[in-house]
Structure 1
Amino acid sequence: MKKLLSIYEQQKEVISYLFWGVMTTIVNILIFALIHWLTDWNYLINNSIAWVISALFAYISNRIYVFHSYADSRSAVLKEMASFFIGRIASYFIEQAILIVGISGLKWHEITVKIIANVVVVIVNYFWSKWAVFKKKGPES
């Protein structure tokens, strides 16, 4: 049991990121699927709407629960938020490209391609968030 607790303590951030990444992915895919099933809009529009909502969810959960951000002034929070969304916008274009190739090019099922794209995006976003956005600046650094 001590060994498991030790591993958890060493990997707490990654475990937390994976949990909140899965939650963000679920939000993203559910919104995408709902819009897909309820409208006849293009999948890229559906993805854009799902992206906006899930990116806001991801910022809040990453800031509070994963990286425990210590940005406390308005300007520091705005800088952190801008950096976060710059990375997310980059991964949004990666996701859009995967959707275009998978859905329009390969003619795969939209939800299947969306899930594959989200796996790639979660990995890219973790490294961006860890190294560029939520760098340790508080008492724990």
Structure 2
Amino acid sequence: MQKLKDFIKKYYEGLAYLFFGGVATLLNLVVFAVFQAAFGTDFATGLGNVLDNILCILFAYWTNRTFVFKSTNKGKAALAEFGQFVSCRIATMVMDQLIIWLGVSVLGPAVRFAAADPKLWAMGVKLFSQVVVILSNYVFSKLFIFKKK
């Protein structure tokens, strides 16, 4: 039991980031699926994806600040931290949107020709995009936003 506690203590930040990143990714995929079911793939991959990302950015900021990096910044420093976080997440949101556009709008028609389900394909592209986004977000968070002073 002590070895497990030592392992968790040693790797807490990475484990916590994986856990809360997983929860944020699950939220992102669920909201995407709800938008796709309710309003169609075109909405889910367009405006719905942007709205989905905004919701997940706010959730991720709170969990990263509170549980992962345990930021104690207050006042102007906390505001600057939030601004950096949102700026980096907007960059990865653009990356997400670009991957989805390329995967669904550019590659999607060729896949549809091969008889793949367009909704399933769009969800697969979204899942792939989330892997790229999670890795990018961790680097941004670790190196630029919640860096230890």
Same fold (TM over 0.5): yes
Q: Could you tell me which residue of structure 1 aligns to residue 51 of structure 2?
A: 49
- Asked if the contact 1:87/1:125 (under 8 Å) is kept, the reply is yes
TM-superposed deviation, 1:106? 1.6
Matched, 1:82 2:83: yes
Q: Unaligned stretches of 5+ in structure 2? A: 112-120
Q: TM-score, normalised by structure 2?
A: 0.86
Task: Report sequence identity in percent.
Answer: 35
Question: Which residue identity does 1:33 align to in structure 2?
Answer: A
Structure-to-structure mapping, 1:96-135, within 5 angstroms: 96-107=97-108, 109-135=121-147
Q: Unaligned stretches of 5+ in structure 1? A: none
- Asked if the contact 1:32/1:47 (under 8 Å) is kept, the reply is yes
Question: Which residue identity does 2:46 align to in structure 1?
Answer: L
TM-superposed deviation, 1:23? 0.5
Matched, 1:29 2:24: no
Q: TM-score, normalised by structure 1?
A: 0.90
TM-superposed deviation, 1:102? 1.1
- The whole-number CA distance in structure 2 between the counterparts of 1:97 and 1:3 is 43
Q: Could you tell me which residue of structure 2 aligns to residue 94 of structure 1?
A: 95
- Which deviates further from its counterpart, 127-136 or 16-25? 127-136
CA-atom RMSD in angstroms? 1.3
- The whole-number CA distance in structure 2 between the counterparts of 1:68 and 1:115 is 28
Q: Tell me which protein shows more helix as a share of its residues.
A: 2
- Asked if the contact 1:69/1:136 (under 8 Å) is kept, the reply is no
Structure 1 runs (4+) greater than 4 angstroms displaced: none
